[in-house]
Amino acid sequence: MLELDELWAYVGSKRNAVWLWIALCRRTRQIVAWHHGPRSLCSCRALWHKIPPPYKQGLVFTDFWSAYQEVVPDTQHRPCAKQDGQTNHVERFNLTLRQRVGRLTRKTLSFSKSHIMHLIHIRAFFLAYNQDRRQHYLKTNQT
């Protein structure tokens, strides 16, 4: 099962909001795909194409953003409100991301001055986060 969501940050100035699209595996809590782009149907499609094929077989939980409804197959798509709890893991991850990567914190003077540095910091965090989640998952599921 996957949970998909998007969050915004600034690059260069507060007038230049950029979006980060995330696909999180509910079982392992790892980021299986991400995309950096505008909040558009095109970016949603790009995220969907980056998701590895085995992950595209199960249910996909999202919010009600219309792009998800056009991209994710109807038989798998489960749009839900935040209070339903079906996207809790990806919403919690968004908070973790904002806490640990200062340039993603809202209402702060800390923001990326260039797109390349923005992407480098996000990618580095995702690699470290996924490695940590992998070790945690293996440790808790030893038989």
Alpha-carbon span 108 to 111, nearest angstrom: 7
E strand or H helix at 57, and its extent? Answer: none
Tokens of 101: 């990567």
Alpha-carbon span 29 to 137, nearest angstrom: 9
E strand or H helix at 110, and its extent? Answer: none
The residue segments making up the domain with residue 10 are 2-140
| Position with higher pLDDT, 96 vs 14 | 96
Alpha-carbon span 117 to 98, nearest angstrom: 16
Q: What is the CA radius of gyration of the chain?
A: 15
Reduce the DSSP state of residue 113 to 3 states and report it: coil
| Position with higher pLDDT, 104 vs 100 | 100
Alpha-carbon span 36 to 18, nearest angstrom: 7
Q: What is the CATH number of the domain that holds 114?
A: 3.30.420.10
Beta strands in the chain (DSSP E): 2-11, 13-25, 31-37, 60-62, 77-79
Global pTM reads: 0.84
CA neighbor of 36 nearest in space, from 106, 107, 125: 125
pLDDT for the residue numbered 112: 64
Provide the number of structural domains found in the chain: 1
Tokens of 54: 């085995």
pLDDT digits (tens, 9 = 90+) for 24-78: 999 999 999 999 999 999 999 999 999 999 999 999 999 999 999 999 999 999 9
pLDDT for the residue numbered 8: 87
